[in-house]
Each structure stands twice: as C-alpha cells, then as structure tokens.
C-alpha cells in the first residue's frame, strides 16, 4: 500500500466512524425523548379518574348548603346547554359536508372552529359558575366539591339518558 492509499483509507474510516457516532448519539437522544413521552402517558393512565359525578360530589356537602349548590350548578348547566348543543350541531354539519360529494374544506374548517368556540363558551360558563359557587363554601365543602373542576373520567350522557364514552377531542 502506498502512503496515499493509506491516507485515503484512514480518511474514509474516520468519516465512517464520525457518521456512526453521530447516528448513535441521535438514536440515544431519540430513545430518551420517546421514553419520557411514554412515561408521561403511562402516568396519565394510572392517574385515578374523578371519583364521581357532580351530583355525587354535591352529596358529600354539608346538608345546609347542598340544595343551594345543586340548584345553582343545575341552572348553570341549563344556561350552558345551548352552547353545547350548538357545538354538536356545527360538528354534525361539518361531518355531513365532509362526507358529501359537495365537499368544501373552508366550510368544514369554519364549522369546526365555530363548534370549538361554542363548546369553549359553554365550558367557560360552567367553570366560572363553579368557581363562584366554590367561593361561597366553607373550606371542607370546597375541598369536597373542588373535583368538579377536573375534566377526567367524564362520560357523555345522551339525550336518552344512556352514558357513553366521551368523543375524541378535535
């Protein structure tokens, strides 16, 4: 072997070594990021769901305030109902247009945005009213009812009273 061939061979070996090392570092970093994401998901799945429906939570309250809280939250839910109905209607319209021959992506996107806005209005109303109710309670009752602010573990109750799993977000 000549010195030139040896130099070229060493250069190629060095380039291959650097490339392999970069690949190994990228694979290691990818593994760490993926592992952290999987651990978050597993932790979220093992987090206990909310212990009961809002009415069960209200049942834990001091009897002196239970009826007032139930009536206030029921009135809040009834006031927010049109927003949630609008959200469902807009989403149904978007699905209808998306599955039709006359597909209009701009119209579907607009309907989905309007659906999200209506749902957020309804949720904001419910949350604001819940916070207002919590503000009127003693610490022990507030602790018992504070779980109504969580969104985990809620099913959707259909108009026929049957409970089903929540629809995927989106």
The helix (run of H) or strand (run of E) holding residue 164 is strand 163-164
Q: How far apart are CA 71 and CA 158, in angstroms?
A: 21
Q: Are residues 75 and 107 in the same domain?
A: yes
Residue 83 lies in a domain: yes
Per-residue pLDDT of 87-100, as tens digits, reads 999 999 999 999 99
% residues pLDDT > 90 (the chain): 44
Q: Are residues 61 and 12 in the same domain?
A: no
> How many domains does the chain divide into?
2
Q: Are residues 24 and 96 in the same domain?
A: no
Beta strands in 61-157 (DSSP E): 156-157
Residue with more model confidence, 152 or 125: 125
Provide CB contacts within 8 A for 156, sequence distance 6+. 163, 164, 165, 166, 167
Q: Are residues 78 and 148 in the same domain?
A: yes
| Mean pLDDT score of the chain | 82
Q: Are residues 89 and 146 in the same domain?
A: yes
Domain range for 120: 54-152
For residue 164, pLDDT beyond 70 = no
Q: How far apart are CA 16 and CA 55, in angstroms?
A: 66
Average pLDDT over residues 157-170: 45
Average pLDDT over residues 77-82: 94
The confidence score (pLDDT) of residue 124 equals 94
Per-residue pLDDT of 125-150, as tens digits, reads 999 999 999 999 888 888 888 888 88
Residue 22 lies in a domain: yes
Residue 87 lies in a domain: yes
For residue 160, pLDDT beyond 70 = no
Residue 64 lies in a domain: yes
CB atoms within 10 A of CB 76: 19
Per-residue pLDDT of 52-65, as tens digits, reads 677 777 877 777 78
Residue 33 lies in a domain: yes
């Amino acid at each position: 072997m000549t010195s030139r061939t040896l130099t070229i061979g060493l250069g190629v070996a060095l380039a291959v070594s650097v490339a392999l090392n970069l690949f190994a570092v990228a694979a290691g970093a990818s593994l760490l990021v993926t592992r952290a994401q999987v651990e978050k998901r597993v932790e979220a799945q093992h987090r206990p769901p909310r212990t009961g429906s809002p009415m069960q939570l209200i049942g834990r309250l001091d009897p002196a305030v239970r009826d007032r809280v139930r009536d206030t939250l029921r009135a809040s839910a009834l006031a927010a109902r049109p927003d949630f109905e609008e959200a469902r209607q807009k989403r149904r319209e978007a699905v209808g247009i998306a599955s039709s021959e006359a597909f209009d992506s701009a119209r579907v996107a607009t309907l989905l945005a309007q659906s999200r806005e209506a749902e957020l209005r309804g949720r904001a109303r419910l949350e604001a009213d819940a916070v207002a109710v919590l503000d009127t309670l003693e610490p022990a009752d507030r602790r018992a009812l504070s779980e109504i602010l969580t969104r985990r573990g809620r099913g959707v109750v259909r108009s026929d009273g049957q409970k089903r799993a929540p629809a995927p977000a989106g």
